[in-house]
C-alpha cells in the first residue's frame, strides 16, 4: 500500500542551525516525492519535488531534500534555519504507476525555529 510517514510530530531547532525534517515512503512504482509547507491560516505551498535525476533536489527558500532509494527516504534539509521557517511541513508521494495518480500525504511535522 502507498503511504508516507513523518516520524516526528514536532521538531525544534535553534536559529542558524541546520534543520532536518524526516520522511519515509512506501510506493509500488517509481516514487514522485514532494514537500509542502503550510503557514498558519494558509494553504499548503509547494517547496520542492523529486521525479528523477540527481538525488539532491533544491527548492524554494533555501530548502533541499535528499532522495535515498535504499532507505526509501526523502528528508527535507536546510543548512541554516530562520525563525520565519517555523511552520507545518508535509511530505507527499504520488504513485504515477498505480492508484490513479493519487497523492498520499504524511501527517505533518511542526517545525519551530527558536531565536
Partner 1 sequence: DAGVIQSPRHEVTEMGQEVTLRCKPISGHDYLFWYRQTMMRGLELLIYFNNNVPIDDSGMPEDRFSAKMPNASFSTLKIQPSEPRDSAVYFCASSAGTGSYEQYFGPGTRLTVT
Interacting residue ranges for partner 1, rule: CB under 8 A: 32, 34, 36, 42-46, 49, 51, 90, 92, 94, 96, 99-103, 105, 107-108
Smallest distance, Å, CB 81 to partner 1? 24
Closest C-alpha to 93, from 113, 77, 63, 72 = 72
Smallest distance, Å, CB 112 to partner 1? 17
| CB of 14 or CB of 97, closer to partner 1 | 97
- List of E strands, the chain: 3-5, 10-14, 19-21, 24-26, 31-38, 44-50, 56-58, 64-68, 73-78, 87-95, 103-105, 109-114
| CB of 5 or CB of 44, closer to partner 1 | 44
Amino acid at each position: 500500500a502507498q503511504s508516507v510517514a513523518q516520524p516526528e510530530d514536532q521538531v525544534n531547532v535553534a536559529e542558524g542551525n541546520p534543520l532536518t525534517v524526516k520522511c519515509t515512503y512506501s510506493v509500488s512504482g517509481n516514487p514522485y516525492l514532494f514537500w509542502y509547507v503550510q503557514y498558519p491560516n494558509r494553504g499548503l505551498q509547494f517547496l520542492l519535488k523529486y521525479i528523477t535525476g540527481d538525488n539532491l533536489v533544491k527548492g524554494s527558500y533555501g530548502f533541499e531534500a535528499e532522495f535515498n532509494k535504499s532507505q526509501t527516504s526523502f528528508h527535507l534539509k536546510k543548512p541554516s534555519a530562520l525563525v520565519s521557517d517555523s511552520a507545518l511541513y508535509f511530505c507527499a508521494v504520488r504513485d504515477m504507476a498505480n492508484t490513479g495518480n493519487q497523492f498520499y500525504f504524511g501527517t505533518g511535522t511542526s517545525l519551530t525555529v527558536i531565536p
